[in-house]
Amino acid sequence: MPELPEVETVKNVLQPRLVGKKIVGVDINNGAVIADAASEFVERLNGQAFSDIERRGKFLIFRFASGDGLVVHLRMTGCLTLQSAQSPTEKHTHVAIKFDGGDELRYSDVRRFGKLSYVESGALEELDGVRRLGVEPFDVTVEYLKSKICRSKKPIKSLLMEQGIIAGIGNIYSDEILFAAKINPRRAGASLSDGELLRLCKAIPEQLAYYIEKNKVSFEEYAESNGKSYRNTPYLRVYGKANMPCPHCGAPLIGDRIGGRSYVYCPNCQK
DNA sequence: GTCGATGTTATCAA
DNA sequence: TTTGATAACATCGA
């Protein structure tokens, strides 16, 4: 499900409620979502106290007072909620991290693509995936972007989704970014002019910041929807809107596929 | 019942 | 080098 704006929402919702909480137990219903052995995972989490939450790309990094950490990637359908231990559990809840106050952090994931990894202090950045990430979208410069894509024949949409170039952009927001920058998703990276690179470089942080803002939800609202309350989808301009009128020029938006991923663009506005 | 698609990513073959 | 298929898995809609 989530790309950077949604992961940012999860972080913002959980942060104030989670920091300071001490783990008194861990229930694992399905060890498939744990990177290492389940028993070891439980043992190491026990007694840890949360000190902070960070987001890096689409990864959530929970820091403990001990210096160790818990790294979570939600992939397609992963979901984290903080709930009372008494509240009914969803069908696909695989892990429950229990606190002394009687509530628990639950990880549910219908398709089980997501992963939870316990990481020792100092080894956080070396975790596979995290280690290979490119810059955060808010730190992209024209020079950086140019250096990464100017020799590539790959479609710019695919390049935007490469986590090793820019961390956090997926299928939805690559469509939205390219629409905002008025660039055809199929254009080869190497074919972009300096002017187009500039537009792209501006659109990347602007679009993500816009959708983070539109996605702000209260803790209660988030909990109520079992962590599925992503409120920014009504504001999407092209993703999932094939055949509907372009919000800019009114021409019908076109749906197509690149490398197995569907995308939508306006043939009139995006050259 | 079947097929295709779904917001992710690692890996492998051509 | 790069592109596409595949695999992990469950669910939904046509």
Average pLDDT over residues A212-230: 86
Answer yes or no: is A172 CB < 7 A from strand B: yes
Distance of CA A170 to CAs A21, A53, A54, A192, A261, Å? Answer: 32, 22, 19, 20, 10
Model pLDDT for residues A182-210, shown as the tens digit of each residue: 999 999 999 999 999 999 999 999 999 99
Average pLDDT over residues A155-184: 97
Q: Which chain B positions come under 7 Å from a protein C-beta?
A: 5-10
Question: What's A35's DSSP letter?
Answer: S
pLDDT mean across residues, chain A: 95
Answer yes or no: is A112 CB < 7 A from strand C: yes
The pLDDT value given to residue A219: 92
Model pLDDT for residues A67-86, shown as the tens digit of each residue: 999 999 999 999 999 999 99
Q: Which chain C positions come under 7 Å from a protein C-beta?
A: 1-6, 8-11
Q: Which nucleotide is nearest to A30 (CA to C1')?
A: C9
Answer yes or no: is A262 CB < 7 A from strand B: yes
Q: Which nucleotide is nearest to A128 (CA to C1')?
A: B10
- The catalytic residues of A are 2-3, 58, 261
> In whole angstroms, what is the distance from residue A155 CA to residue A159 CA?
6
Q: Is the dihedral of CA A39, A115, A208, A226 positive or negative?
A: negative
Average pLDDT over residues A152-180: 96
Q: Predicted confidence band at A229 (pLDDT cuts at 50, 70, 90)?
A: low
The pLDDT value given to residue A177: 98
Residue A54 makes CB contacts below 8 A (sequence gap 6+) with: A11, A60, A61, A63
Model pLDDT for residues A8-65, shown as the tens digit of each residue: 999 999 999 999 999 999 999 999 999 999 999 999 999 999 999 999 999 999 999 9
The pLDDT value given to residue A1: 65
The pLDDT value given to residue A47: 98
